[in-house]
């Protein structure tokens, strides 16, 4: 069959509408992949068919959108729960089943803490200084008392 006859045979419209057999579908896809004119004709027909159904479009009732949104949320929750259950049981989840998380590598050396930690750190710092000074004071006092004690012992011995 000549190319132009093929384009005008109606098989392309039927393919786009999904009313051809599996064998014909494969044939059209193969022809479109090797022939630019057929691929171009398909693009034009896609626009025609979309225009046709856009003109015949009917706005659906708003309740349908709400139901679809609720179902989508529910499906997401179920999927997430299913994944968590699998993950916690130590099974390796397949790539398809994994939720769409974006893995971020953190190179930042800083951490963020609650603001109440600030006075707590200041208090710990002040207390550490107080204990250090107290420790030094007691050390030197104990040292001087030891020396005094030694001196008194020698005085007693001499007497």
Partner 1 sequence: MSEFESSNLQLSRGNKSPVSTNGLSLYDEYGSIAYGIILQIVPQNQIAQEVMIDLFDSLTVNPCVENKVSIAVCIIRKAREKALIYKEKLEVGASTVQQFSTESAIEQSKIIFDLSFRQGKTAETIADYLDIPKARVYKAISEYFKTFRHS
Interacting residues toward partner 1 by CB under 8 A: 8-14, 16-21, 29, 45-50, 52-54, 56-61, 63-65, 67-69, 71-72, 75
Question: Which residue's CB is nearer to partner 1, number 13 or number 35?
Answer: 13
- Minimum distance from CB of 45 to partner 1 (Å)? 7
What is the rounded CA–CA span in Å between residue 80 and residue 97? 9
- Minimum distance from CB of 67 to partner 1 (Å)? 5
Question: Which residue's CB is nearer to partner 1, number 98 or number 128?
Answer: 98
Integer CA distances (angstroms), 154 to 140, 145, 149, 150, in order: 21, 14, 9, 6
- 7 burial class (0-12, 13-18, 19+ CB within 10 angstroms)? buried
- Contact in structure between 16 and 48 (CB atoms under 8 Å): no
Ramachandran category for residue 10: left, alpha or beta (phi over 0 → left; psi -120 to 50 → alpha): left
- Minimum distance from CB of 122 to partner 1 (Å)? 45
- Minimum distance from CB of 71 to partner 1 (Å)? 5
What is the rounded CA–CA span in Å between residue 72 and residue 74? 5
Question: Which residue's CB is nearer to partner 1, number 20 or number 38?
Answer: 20
Q: Return phi, psi of residue 49, to 5°.
A: -65, -40
Question: Which residue's CB is nearer to partner 1, number 40 or number 143?
Answer: 40
- Minimum distance from CB of 106 to partner 1 (Å)? 24
Question: Which residue's CB is nearer to partner 1, number 82 or number 147?
Answer: 82
């Amino acid at each position: 069959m000549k190319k132009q006859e093929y384009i005008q045979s109606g098989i392309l419209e039927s393919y786009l509408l999904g009313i051809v057999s599996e064998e014909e579908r494969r044939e059209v896809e193969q022809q479109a992949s090797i022939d630019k004119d057929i691929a171009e004709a398909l693009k034009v027909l896609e626009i025609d068919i979309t225009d046709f159904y856009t003109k015949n479009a009917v706005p659906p009732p708003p309740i349908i959108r709400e139901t679809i949104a609720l179902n989508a949320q529910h499906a997401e929750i179920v999927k997430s729960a299913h994944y968590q259950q699998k993950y916690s049981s130590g099974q390796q989840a397949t790539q398809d089943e994994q939720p769409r998380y974006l893995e971020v590598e953190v190179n930042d050396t800083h951490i963020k803490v609650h603001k109440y930690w600030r006075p707590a750190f200041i208090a710990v710092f002040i207390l550490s200084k107080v204990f250090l000074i107290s420790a030094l004071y007691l050390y030197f006092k104990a040292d001087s008392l030891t020396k005094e004690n030694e001196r008194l012992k020698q005085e007693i011995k001499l007497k």
